Each structure stands twice: as C-alpha cells, then as structure tokens.
C-alpha cells in the first residue's frame, strides 16, 4: 500500500519532469541530474552482482574505460592484471562476472605489485600499468601483451594520462621526488618536474586544461604544474590561504603526507586527501582552500595512492565525493557543503580504489580482501520472492 | 515520546539483565519480554539494536555470547533489525568472530563459544538471506576464504535450522522404523509356525509331566485321599460342636470329667473358653516356591525333560527375544488407516498371542525346574563324558565355595546361639525331676551361674532374644539375665557405689560439711558430680607395641624397594600395604603382612576391609609404581604423596592410644569462615589479576615480610662488614 503510493508519486514526478523538459520549462539535463542524485542516494551493495575473485592478494587498483563503459581493469598486489566484462550476463537475475582476460605474472609482465592501472582514455585497445617493481608498462589489450616499458628505477606509486590532451604524456608519481613524464609517442621520457622534496604519491591531469598537472607528496605539499614552462611549478597550495608567494616553502596543503588527489569533472576544483585525516577542496581558479569542512569521520592511514571518487556533476544537483575510509566503509560527502551524506558499509576489506561506471551509475570498489564489489542503486522495483521474504517481519503471536 | 522513553528504559534494563547474567542460555521469559517490546514498533527495534551493539562491544566474552544469542533471536524476527545488523555486518563479525585482527576478549571458553555461534549463524543466515543481503554473503565468503572456516557439519543454532534438522532426523527414523516393521512382518510370517510348533511340543511335555486340573483321576491320584479326609474331619468337628451345644443344657455333673477329657482333645476353636463355636476356618496352602509343581526328574521321564530342555533353550535363546523385538517394532511402527491398519492389527494380535504362548511355556518350564542353569539333568550326565567331567568339577568347586562362604558368614552365629542356650539352661545343680517341677507354680527354678565366657561376652541382641524365648518365670529370669549380661570386672572402689542414685554422708548430724566429701547442699547427700566421680575407675592402659614394623617396600626409581618402616603410612609413598618382592601391591592380604597394634582383636573381615581401604588409598600410586618398575626413570616424581609429618604423628598417636593433637590453625591458613558472597551473575571477573606463576612469585617477593627480611639481612651484613672493617682498622 505504502510502497505503491510512493511509486505513484514518483511516477507523477517523472511525468511532470518529462513534461517540463518537453515544453522547455527546465533544462534538458534536469531529468538525468534528478535521477542521478536519486540513484546515488540509494547506493548500496548490489546483491545480485558478484565479481569473481581472481586476485590472490589485495586488489590495489581498478579502472573502467570511458569509451564504452564496459570493461573493468584490475591490478593486484600479486602483480596480476585482469579484465572483466561488466555487461556479461546482464540480463540474468543473479549475475556472476567472470574474468575475461588476464595478464598473470609473465616474462614481460610486472614483477611486483601493481600500484595503478589506467585505460587509455580514448580507446580501450590500450592500457597502462605502474608497479612497485619501478616500471610503467603499456599494454595491448587485444593481445594482453606489453607494448612498451618505462623503467623509472624507483617505486612507482601512481601514474596518469590526460583524459583530454593530445600530447600523450604519462605523468608518474614515484619515490623519486621528480615527476617524470613518459611520452607514449616515442617511448621515452620527455622531461622531469623538480620541486617536491619527498616521495610523490599521487599525480593527476586536469580534465579542463591539457597542460595542467597536480601532484601530492609526502612532503605535505600539493603542487600544480604547467608542463610547458621551463620553471614548470605554478604554485604550491596553501591550506591556510596566506598571502605568501605561490612557491613559498611555507605553503602546505596538509599537515601530513598527501596521498590522494582528484579533479572535479569540470576541472574547476581539486580534492586532496592526506594522512592528517582531512579532505580539502581547492578552488583552482584562485588556488585557494575553499575551507570546506568534511568532518572528522575520515580515517586515512593508507600508505599508497588513494584517489577519491567524484560523481558526475550536473548544474542544479549536488555532486558527491566518495572516500574509502580506514574503517572499511565508503564515506559519501556532499562535495560543496562537506556534509556526510551516507556511509556505505559491507565490505570486509579496506577499500583501496573506486571506479565509476557512468552508464549504469554504479560504483565498483577494490578491497584488500582480494574482492571487487559492485555498488548499485537499490532496485526499488525488484519484486522477487526472496526480497519479500527478507522484508517480512516474523514475530510469532506468542511474543 | 514518553512512551518511547519508557520502552527504551525497559529495553535497556532487560538487555542489560540478559547480557550480564553470564549464563550459557538466555532466560526465555526475558527474551520474550524483549521481543514483545520490539514487536510494538520499529523504533524499539532500533533501540534494541543500538543497546545490543553497545553490549556486544564490551570486552567480555560472556556478555558478547549472550548478546549474540539475543541478536540471533531478533534477527530472525524483525526486518528492521536485519537491515541494521546487515549494514554493520563486518563489525558484527569483528566482535563475534574476531576478524580484522580484533581478538575476542577473555574468558577463552566463552570466546570460543561466541565464535562458533557466530559462524553457525552466518552459515544459516547465508543459506536463508544470502541472496538478498550481500553483506552476509560477503561475510560468509570472507570467513570461508580468508579464515578457512569449515562450514560443514555445523550444529544448527537458530530455531528454523534446528526444526529442519529435526524434520530430517524424524524422516530418517521413520524410514528405519518402516524398514524394521517390514522385516518384522516377514519374520512373523516365517517364524510363527516354528514357534507354535515348539510351544506345542512343550505343551505335550507338560501334559506328560504334570496332570491337568480338569483331569479328575489324575487330581485324585495326587490330592484325592488327604483332601477328602480333612474335609470329612472338619465336617465331623462341626457336627460335634453343634451336638455339644445342644447337649450343654442337660449336662450332668457326672459326665463333666468325661466331657473335660473330650474337650481336651477336641477344642481347636476355643468353644470352651469363649462359649462360642465358629463355622469359619482358615485354610492356608503354602506352595513350595522352589519347586511348585513338585515333579521330580527320574529315569522314567528323563527323555521328556531332555526334550523340554531343548525346547526351552530354543525359546530362551531365539523365540523369546524375537517375540519381544516384534512387539517393540510393532508398537513403535506408525500405521495408517485402511487396509494397512487391518493388516497391522492382525499382525499385532498374532505377535501378542505368540509372545503370550512363549511366555507361558517359558514360565511353565521354569516352574518345572528347567532353566538356563540346569541345562543338564541328573540323568543326562552319561551322554557326553568329556564335557561332563569338566562341568562336574566346576559345579563342585562353586558348591564348596558357597559352603565355605556359608560357614564363614553364618555358622559362627549359629554356634554362638547354641552355646548361649546351652549355658543359660545350665544350672548349678540340675534337680532330679526338674521337668515335673517346672509345672509346679511354687517352683522358681534353680539359680543358674553363668559361665565366665558367657558373661565376658558383650551383650548382643540375639542373646537377648534367645533368653526371652525360654519359659522360666519372669522375675527369676531377669536377674539371671542381668547377671548374664553383667561384665566381669576386677574389684575396685567404684563397685561400692556403682548402682547408687544418691549417697548420704555424715548421718551423725554433728558436722555439716565433710572434709573430703565437700560441703553438702543441706541435704546431707553427696553431690551428684562427686558421686559421678566416685563411680569412675582408674584404668591403666599399656599399649601393645607391634613387635615388628613392616617396611614400606614401595618400588623406588633406583630399582630398590623403600626401606622405611612406618606404622600406617610412609611419608613418601602413602599407606603401607602388603607388597611382593617386586613391590607390586598384593591384593589378597598376606599372612602377617600388615602388622598393626590391636590386630588380634580385629576380625578377619575387618582386617580385610582395612587392607582393602589401604590398597584403595594407594591405588593411584600402584599404577605409577607399575610403570616405574618397567621404566625406572619415567616414574620419578609421579609418586606424589600428600601425607605430612602431622599424619604420621597422628598414626603413632592412634597406635599408642593417645589423643590426636589438634594444632590451632593460624588465622591466615585456616579455612575462611566467611564464605565470599556469590555474585548475582555468572560473569567471570576479568579485572581480577590472573593467578599466574609470575603473579605468585611477585606476591611472594614483594610481600612486606620478605622485603623486611631482605632489609634486615642487608642491615646485618652492613653492620658486620663495618665491624670487620673496624676490626681490621684496629689491627
């Protein structure tokens, strides 16, 4: 009765929105934005999807390609890389996604744990992987073979390929304080960006400016780079918003190691996280801390790169940032006002990486319990028997 | 809101109470209350969940165990509760199984229990809710994959799983019953003829051996003559009684004497005394229990007996157990109505009939003296000689044993009786024609002087009975009896006053008080306690010390026997028991192997009991001793004894007849008078420090006394060293 009524109301709202879009009262993006935020708020562990466990150690990183939004790439501490087809057995009630291809420790493969995998942003025929064995490898997806290897001679913690740039440069974060840029076109290093004084744990390209690069390091600074300049470091972000010069030694983004960076999809803001259990939102136009307070729930002692995930942004609807905390839950914050919206619990391992699948508005998470989990919006219309049984109260009459 | 607060209050007290008892099982009443509160609204369920999680997080395994049980109850019932728990499932498993490096708190026993319970719960919940609640499935996978938990062969814990299990069990047992029933049906059909044949055969044997009751001639042959005559006699008596009553009216003085004489013979019913006759008679027929039918086996009917024995053996060995089993199976079998029912009824009737006939035949043959003990009759002995001889020997052996036991146990008593009766009758002069005098009312009987032996023997109830049964007059006998009972004691002062209730003194009236007998209380009587003291007697006890004290002879680790000589127990090896050359305990008491003061007075039985007790006390040692004989090294330290110097001292004191020394215990050592009040809950106190060897050592070392002694030692050392130094300086 109750659920029926809510469903009817929802239905009414849907038709009204459609009508409003049709006659031009609201923007066309209002409809998807409305549904996206609704579905995000309903996010929970998807009981019907299981991703088969392949890794025999922690899964360190996952990535979903953007071209089709179909293939999931995972890299584990065991040095193996697997690819899953997320559309597999899509129509089945209970789907088990099996690994479709894998690069297990081969002669050409990685000798150490994988720290980061990235699809080539424009084509799923290629992906890159960085490893603690101090190499970055470029893979041919179809052959599952290494096409090119960059040896950095240092533990590589992360790497990034610009999602929009045509320069084809891979920025690397390694235990070497310099950020080295690998050129996919030549298979060689183009140049290095000196400035950090400690291990660089994270590096990200701006989705807005193709030459803008952000990096975070154990020296507690977050630096922005323009790779075209000879003195390439633009500024070091300052958490206190003082009027010190942009490259002042006193500028620190966090009080302790910075291990996560994420640009908002519009490229106007930057999220940084550090071991001081804080998450900071930076305005990239001014380079200032927005002083958004994300509360005290964050527990971050992860020693490797840990990138927060920011949901797609639509004008007029809130955007969310997902952050895997130490207590094995995913904290979901409102990006702008910093309020904790939800806590996604259920994982039995510490979540090490998150990936967003735009087509189905799902989140995939990798954990150090060797598992990859799917988080989807709770299916309201799912009306099967099991759910009905589970939803039932079974108080006996004698109670 | 006030309502909510009330419910919250009630829930919190209830949950606290349930989880703090520390018992293995929850109080069903309280659980029911919790459930009834939770049933009212989902808000209450949330409250209960919060409270339970708080309890679950306590660092005490017993509290966690109880909480887990209650969680299982609510999880099964409430959807809201399920949602809540599922959201926190990793935490739940952390707290109950100890995943993610969260070890469970002590006590260990309950921690294990909690873990097992949570694993079983996960298993069952996974089976039921796994497809709906991903977290439970993940938890299950986590336990299986990471903790390598074996989910097979788990005991069901929730009611539902248990009922499923139970149903399966019932189904299994039902199938077994059905199978048994079918087997029994076949067997009944097959064997009923055999049984009936056998029973018929036995019936024929009985017919031959025992006359039937409806057989008039046979009955007459056995009972006819005596029964008839007795009836006649009774008839006669009755007639006579009637006659006498009629005659009474015209009775003459003359024939009184004749009548008297006649009555003397014929007055069984006391007509003469009561002036009443009776026509009711009591007839008692006693049947010899051992041989009720009274058919003796003779050469004539030995063949019949042989057949009967064979049949009997068949019945006892085969048919009787079978019939009992069928009855069992049939009674337990579940039967449906309809055709099956009729069939079942027929079978049941058949089985009952068979069992009845078998039972009858068995009982009858046992009445005839045929049972499993007498499988060979007296006339069957020639049949097979080899076996026979062996059998014979065995039988005689057991018989002689029995006789021995009898002579040991009973005969002495009988002999005593005989002696006593003989002596009691034995007067000093046996008067000539005493038996005639016995009838004379003026004769009081001869004074009997009991023999010294009889007097010295302590009075026993049996003797009294024997004496009472003699027919002598009352007064005379009591004195005799008293004399017989009186102990023979040497003369002493106390004999002068032993029977006095009070004693007067100083009857002269001159002096009121006596110099020695004390001041009277005005009645010129010796005071009661003085009199009591006068009745006391000095006795000098001279203990008989054992001439020879046996060695302990416990086998020691060096291969030799313990040479310590102790009266009762060795301080190292426990009670001294007779042992052989190897030091093994000898179970039958050896001759003179156990010397103890006062052994002469002890009966054989008492002594045996004593030795047995000693052996029993040494039994745990004997096992270790036997091992130590074989492997001398391994036996070291095993023969631990608890007896102390005090025990041995007690033994010696006991042997010398001295009092046991009770050393007043010190305050600290003694048993605590005040029992510590039992805490209301069974929770183990975790704050109490664990009594480890380290803690005990610390307690000893850090105690004030030991510290004081150390400081004192230091001081002494210092002073002595300074003295030495001074000495040296002086030199």
pLDDT at residue B374, as a whole number: 66
What is the C-alpha separation between B57 and B67, in angstroms, rounded? 10
| DSSP assignments along B237-253, one per residue | HHHHHHHHHHHHTT--S
Say whether residue A398 is in contact with chain B using an 8 A CB cutoff. Answer: yes
What is the C-alpha separation between B643 and B658, in angstroms, rounded? 20
Nearest CA in chain A to B82: A390
Q: Are B275 and B350 in contact (CB under 8 A)?
A: no
**Would you state the structure tokens that stand for residue B519, as one six-digit string?**
């001041």
Say whether residue A389 is in contact with chain B using an 8 A CB cutoff. Answer: yes
Among B101, B133, B138, B159, the strongest candidate for a mutation testing the A interface, having the largest count of A CBs within 10 A, is: B138
For residue A239, give the 3-state DSSP assignment.
Answer: coil
For residue B323, give the 3-state DSSP assignment.
Answer: helix
Angle in degrees, CA B363, B369, B374, rounded to 5: 115
For residue B78, list chain A residues with Cβ-Cβ distance below 8 A. Answer: 393, 395
Architecture category of domain A46-377 in CATH: 7 Propeller (2.130)
Domain boundaries, chain A: 1-42+378-399, 46-377
pLDDT at residue A354, as a whole number: 93
Do B138 and A387 lie within an 8 Å CB cutoff? no
Question: pTM for this structure?
Answer: 0.56
Instruction: Provide the residue-wise pLDDT of chain A in tens; the chain has 399 residues.
Output: 455 555 566 667 778 888 888 888 888 888 888 888 888 888 888 888 889 888 888 999 999 988 888 899 999 998 899 999 988 777 777 788 888 888 887 777 888 899 999 999 888 889 999 999 999 999 999 988 899 999 988 899 999 998 887 888 999 999 999 999 999 888 899 888 998 999 999 999 999 988 899 999 999 999 999 988 877 788 999 999 888 888 888 889 999 999 999 999 999 999 999 999 999 999 998 889 999 999 888 888 888 989 999 988 877 778 899 999 988 899 999 999 999 998 998 888 899 999 999 888 889 999 988 989 999 887 655 556 666 676 777 777 666
Q: Are B425 and B391 in contact (CB under 8 A)?
A: no
For residue A328, list chain B residues with Cβ-Cβ distance below 8 A. Answer: 90, 100
| DSSP assignments along B675-691, one per residue | PPPPPSS----SSSPP-
pLDDT at residue B550, as a whole number: 79
| DSSP assignments along B368-400, one per residue | TT-SGGG-S-TTSTTS-HHHHHHHHHHHHHHHH
Nearest CA in chain B to A45: B134
CB atoms within 10 A of CB B91: 20
What is the C-alpha separation between B613 and B577, in angstroms, rounded? 10
Among A382, A393, A396, the strongest candidate for a mutation testing the B interface, having the largest count of B CBs within 10 A, is: A393
What is the C-alpha separation between A117 and A136, in angstroms, rounded? 10
For residue B137, give the 3-state DSSP assignment.
Answer: helix
Nearest CA in chain B to A346: B135
**Would you state the structure tokens that stand for residue B253, as one six-digit string?**
């003085």
For residue A399, list chain B residues with Cβ-Cβ distance below 8 A. Answer: 32, 35-36, 39, 77
Do A346 and B79 lie within an 8 Å CB cutoff? no
Long-range contacts of A264-267 (CB under 8 A, 24+ apart): A264/A310, A264/A313, A264/A319, A264/A335, A265/A207, A265/A310, A265/A312, A265/A313, A266/A207, A266/A208, A266/A313, A267/A206, A267/A207, A267/A208, A267/A209, A267/A212
Say whether residue B129 is in contact with chain A using an 8 A CB cutoff. Answer: yes
Tell me which H or E stretch contains A188.
Answer: strand A188-193
DSSP state, B72? Answer: H
Q: Is residue A234 packed enough to be buried (19+ CB in 10 Å), middle (13-18) or exposed (0-12)?
A: middle
Say whether residue A45 is in contact with chain B using an 8 A CB cutoff. Answer: yes
Tell me which H or E stretch contains B428.
Answer: none
Nearest CA in chain A to B133: A47
| Nearest Cβ partner for A395 among B77, B133, B142 | B77
Say whether residue B255 is in contact with chain A using an 8 A CB cutoff. Answer: no
Q: Are strands A49-51 and A95-97 parallel, antiparallel or unpaired?
A: parallel
Nearest CA in chain A to B45: A393
**Would you state the structure tokens that stand for residue A61, as one six-digit string?**
């990183």
Q: Which residues pair with A226 in a beta bridge?
A: A212
| Nearest Cβ partner for B90 among A94, A328, A396 | A328
Q: Are A177 and A193 in contact (CB under 8 A)?
A: no
Say whether residue B221 is in contact with chain A using an 8 A CB cutoff. Answer: no
pLDDT at residue B572, as a whole number: 81
Q: How many CA atoms are closer than 13 Å to the CA of A379, on its beta-carbon side?
A: 16
Closest CA to B72 of B162, B174, B178: B162
Which residues, including other chains, have CB under 8 Å from residue B464's CB and lie 6 or more apart? B481
- Which B-chain residues 45-104 have CB contacts (< 8 A) with chain A? 76-80, 82, 86-90, 93, 99-100
For residue B457, give the 3-state DSSP assignment.
Answer: coil
Distance from CA of A133 to the nearest CA of B (A): 27
Q: Are strands A95-97 and A99-103 parallel, antiparallel or unpaired?
A: unpaired
Do B99 and A398 lie within an 8 Å CB cutoff? no
Q: Are A179 and A193 in contact (CB under 8 A)?
A: yes
Among A378, A379, A399, the strongest candidate for a mutation testing the B interface, having the largest count of B CBs within 10 A, is: A399
Say whether residue A46 is in contact with chain B using an 8 A CB cutoff. Answer: yes
| Nearest Cβ partner for B35 among A46, A386, A399 | A399
Say whether residue A378 is in contact with chain B using an 8 A CB cutoff. Answer: no
Sign of the torsion formed by the C-alpha atoms of A53, A56, A59 and A64: negative
**CA distances (Å), origin B440, targets A172, B430, B551:** 143, 16, 69
Say whether residue B34 is in contact with chain A using an 8 A CB cutoff. Answer: no
| Nearest Cβ partner for A45 among B88, B100, B135 | B135
ipTM of this complex prediction, to 2 decimal places: 0.86
What is the C-alpha separation between B684 and A87, in angstroms, rounded? 55
Q: Are A33 and A316 in contact (CB under 8 A)?
A: yes
For residue B133, list chain A residues with Cβ-Cβ distance below 8 A. Answer: 47, 390
The distance from CA A108 to its chain's CA centroid, rounded to whole angstroms, is: 28
Do A53 and B145 lie within an 8 Å CB cutoff? yes
- Alpha helix positions (H), B21-101: 28-40, 42-56, 61-77, 79-87, 89-96
Nearest CA in chain A to B99: A348
Q: Are B63 and B22 in contact (CB under 8 A)?
A: yes
Beta strands in B256-366 (DSSP E): none
Say whether residue A2 is in contact with chain B using an 8 A CB cutoff. Answer: no
Mean pLDDT by runs of 10 across the 731 residues of chain B is 75 87 83 87 88 89 89 88 89 88 85 88 88 88 86 73 80 85 84 84 80 60 48 49 49 55 55 54 62 66 80 83 83 69 81 85 78 62 42 42 43 40 43 54 51 44 44 59 80 78 68 62 72 81 75 82 82 81 69 44 55 58 42 42 69 74 55 52 74 84 88 92 78 55
pLDDT at residue B518, as a whole number: 65
Do B133 and A94 lie within an 8 Å CB cutoff? no
Say whether residue A328 is in contact with chain B using an 8 A CB cutoff. Answer: yes
Closest CA to B39 of A387, A389, A388, A394: A394
| Nearest Cβ partner for B146 among A369, A393, A398 | A369
Distance from CA of A173 to the nearest CA of B (A): 30
Q: Are B642 and B572 in contact (CB under 8 A)?
A: no
| Nearest Cβ partner for A45 among B76, B131, B134 | B134
Whether residue B107 is preceded by a cis peptide bond, meaning omega within 30 degrees of 0, is: yes
Do A369 and B133 lie within an 8 Å CB cutoff? no
Q: Are A81 and A103 in contact (CB under 8 A)?
A: yes
Q: Are A261 and A307 in contact (CB under 8 A)?
A: yes
Which residues, including other chains, have CB under 8 Å from residue B258's CB and lie 6 or more apart? none
């Amino acid at each position: 009765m109750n659920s029926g009524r809510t469903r009817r109301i929802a239905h009414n709202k849907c038709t009204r929105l459609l009508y409003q879009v049709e006659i031009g009262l609201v923007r066309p993006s209002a409809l998807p934005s409305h549904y996206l935020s609704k579905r995000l708020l309903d996010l929970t562990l998807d009981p019907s999807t299981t991703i088969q466990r392949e890794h025999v150690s922690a899964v360190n990183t996952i990535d979903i390609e953007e071209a089709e939004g179909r293939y999931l790439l995972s890299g584990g501490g065991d040095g193996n890389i697997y690819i899953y087809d997320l559309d597999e057995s899509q129509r089945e009630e209970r789907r088990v996604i099996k690994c479709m291809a894998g690069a297990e420790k081969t002669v050409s493969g990685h000798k150490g744990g994988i720290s980061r995998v990235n699809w080539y942003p424009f084509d799923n025929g290629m992906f890159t992987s960085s490893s603690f064995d101090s190499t970055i490898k470029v893979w041919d997806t179809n052959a599952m073979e290494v096409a090119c290897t960059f040896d950095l001679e240092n533990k590589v913690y992360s790497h990034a390929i610009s999602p929009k740039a045509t320069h084809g440069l891979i920025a690397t974060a390694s235990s070497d304080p310099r950020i080295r840029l690998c050129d996919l076109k030549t298979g060689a290093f183009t140049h290095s960006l000196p400035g950090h004084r400690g291990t660089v744990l994270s590096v990200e390209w701006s989705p807005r400016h193709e030459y803008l690069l952000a990096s975070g390091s154990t020296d507690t600074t977050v630096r922005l780079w323009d790779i075209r300049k000879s003195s390439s470091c633009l500024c070091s972000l300052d958490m206190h918003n003082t009027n010190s010069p942009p490259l002042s030694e006193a500028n620190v983004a966090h009080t302790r190691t910075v291990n996560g960076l994420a640009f908002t999809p519009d490229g106007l803001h930057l999220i940084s996280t550090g071991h001081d259990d804080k998450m900071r939102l930076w305005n990239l136009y001014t380079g200032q801390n927005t002083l958004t307070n994300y509360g005290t729930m964050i527990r971050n002692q992860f020693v490797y790169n840990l990138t927060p995930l920011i949901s797609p942004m639509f004008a007029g609807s809130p955007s969310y940032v997902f952050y895997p905390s130490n207590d094995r839950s995913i904290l979901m914050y409102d990006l702008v006002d910093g309020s904790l919206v939800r806590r996604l619990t259920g994982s039995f391992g510490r979540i090490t990486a998150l990936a967003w699948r735009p087509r189905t508005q799902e989140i995939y998470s990798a954990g150090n319990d060797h598992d990859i989990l799917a988080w989807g919006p709770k299916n309201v219309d799912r009306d099967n028997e099991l759910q009905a049984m589970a939803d039932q109260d079974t108080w006996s009459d004698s109670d | 809101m006030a309502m909510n607060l009330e419910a919250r209050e009630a829930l919190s007290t209830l949950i606290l109470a349930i989880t703090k008892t520390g018992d293995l099982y929850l109080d069903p009443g309280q659980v029911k209350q919790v459930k009834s509160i939770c049933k009212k609204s989902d808000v209450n369920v949330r409250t209960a969940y919060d409270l339970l999680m708080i309890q679950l997080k306590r660092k005490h395994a017993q509290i966690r165990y109880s909480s887990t049980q209650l969680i299982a109850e609510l999880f099964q019932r409430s959807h809201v509760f399920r949602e809540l728990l599922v959201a926190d499932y990793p935490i739940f498993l952390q707290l109950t199984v100890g995943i993610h490096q969260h070890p469970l708190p002590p006590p260990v026993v309950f921690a294990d229990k909690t873990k097992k319970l949570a694993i079983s719960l996960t298993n069952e919940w996974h089976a039921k809710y796994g497809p709906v609640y991903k977290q439970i499935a993940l938890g299950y996978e986590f336990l299986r994959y990471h903790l390598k938990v074996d989910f097979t062969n788990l005991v069901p814990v929730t009611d539902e799983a248990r009922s499923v299990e139970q149903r399966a069990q019932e189904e299994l047992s039902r199938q077994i019953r059905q199978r048994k029933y079918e087997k029994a049906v076949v067997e009944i059909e097959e064997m009923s003829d055999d049984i009936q044949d056998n029973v018929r055969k036995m019936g024929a044997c009985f017919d031959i051996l025992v006359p039937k009751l409806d057989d008039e001639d046979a009955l007459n042959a056995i009972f006819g003559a005596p029964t008839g005559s007795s009836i006649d006699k009774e008839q006669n008596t009755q007639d006579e009684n009637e006659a006498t009553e009629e005659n009474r009216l015209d009775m003459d003085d003359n024939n009184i004497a004749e009548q008297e004489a006649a009555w003397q013979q014929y007055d069984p019913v006391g007509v003469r005394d009561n002036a009443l006759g009776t026509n009711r008679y009591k007839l008692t027929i006693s049947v010899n229990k051992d041989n009720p039918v009274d058919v003796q086996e003779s050469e004539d009917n030995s063949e019949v007996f042989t057949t009967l024995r064979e049949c009997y053996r068949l019945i006892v060995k085969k048919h009787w157990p079978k019939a009992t089993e069928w009855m069992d199976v049939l009674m337990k079998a579940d039967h449906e109505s309809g055709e099956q029912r009729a069939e079942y009824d027929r079978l049941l009737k058949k089985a009952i009939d068979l069992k009845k006939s078998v039972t009858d035949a068995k009982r009858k043959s046992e009445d005839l003296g045929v049972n499993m003990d007498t499988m060979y009759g007296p006339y069957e002995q020639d049949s097979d000689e080899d076996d026979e001889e062996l059998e014979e020997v065995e039988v005689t052996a057991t018989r002689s044993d029995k006789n021995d036991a009898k002579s040991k146990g009973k005969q002495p008593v009988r002999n005593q009786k005989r002696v006593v009766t003989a002596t009691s009758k034995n007067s000093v002069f046996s008067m000539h024609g005493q038996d005639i005098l016995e009838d004379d009312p003026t004769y009081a009987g001869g004074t009997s002087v009991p023999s010294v032996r009889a007097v010295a023997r302590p009075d026993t109830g049996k003797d009294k009975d024997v004496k009472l049964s003699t027919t002598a007059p009352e007064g005379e006998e009591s004195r005799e009896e008293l004399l017989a009972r009186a102990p023979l004691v040497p003369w002493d002062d106390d004999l002068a006053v032993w029977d006095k209730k009070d004693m007067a003194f100083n009857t002269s009236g001159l002096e009121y008080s006596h110099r020695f007998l004390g001041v009277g209380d005005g009645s010129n009587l010796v005071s009661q306690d003085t009199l009591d003291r006068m009745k006391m007697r000095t006795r000098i006890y001279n203990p008989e010390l054992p001439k020879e004290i046996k060695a302990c002879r416990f086998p020691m680790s060096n291969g030799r026997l313990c040479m310590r000589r102790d009266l009762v127990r060795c301080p190292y090896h426990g009670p001294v028991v007779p042992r052989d050359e190897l030091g093994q305990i000898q179970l039958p008491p050896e001759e003179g192997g156990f010397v103890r003061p006062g052994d002469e007075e002890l009966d054989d039985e008492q002594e045996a009991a004593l030795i047995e007790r000693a052996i029993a006390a040494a039994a745990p040692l004997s096992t270790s001793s036997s091992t130590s004989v074989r492997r001398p090294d391994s036996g070291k330290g095993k023969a631990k004894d608890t007896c102390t110097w005090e025990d041995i001292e007690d033994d010696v004191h006991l042997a010398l007849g001295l009092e046991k020394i009770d050393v007043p215990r010190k305050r600290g050592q003694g048993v605590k008078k005040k029992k510590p009040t039992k805490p209301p809950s069974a929770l183990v106190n975790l704050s109490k420090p664990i009594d480890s060897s380290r803690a005990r050592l610390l307690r000893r070392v850090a105690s004030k006394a030991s510290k004081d002694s150390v400081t004192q030692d230091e001081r002494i050392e210092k002073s002595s060293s300074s003295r030495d130094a001074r000495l040296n300086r002086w030199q």
